[in-house]
């Protein structure tokens, strides 16, 4: 299940990257993308330790 969560997070990131935005909206989008990357990294670390979500 953790692998599926990682795939979903990556899919959301790709959707955000492809979304047109400017100015403050672009900055917020980039912040969200960075936070999703942190979530993805956390899930990968957990998976490496044998923790399933």
pLDDT at 21 over 90: yes
Q: DSSP state, 49?
A: T
pLDDT at 22 over 90: yes
Per-residue model confidence (pLDDT) at position 49: 94
List the structure tokens of 21: 């935005």
Nearest-angstrom CA–CA distance, 24 and 5: 28
Per-residue model confidence (pLDDT) at position 53: 86
Per-residue model confidence (pLDDT) at position 43: 96
List the structure tokens of 31: 């912040």
pLDDT at 3 over 90: yes
pLDDT at 17 over 90: yes
pLDDT, tens digit, for every residue of 25-42? 999 999 999 999 999 999
């Amino acid at each position: 299940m953790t692998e599926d969560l990682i795939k979903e997070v990556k899919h959301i990131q790709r959707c955000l990257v492809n979304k047109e935005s400017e100015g403050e909206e672009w900055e917020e989008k980039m912040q969200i993308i960075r936070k999703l990357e942190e979530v993805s990294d956390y899930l990968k670390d957990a998976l490496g330790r044998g923790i399933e979500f």
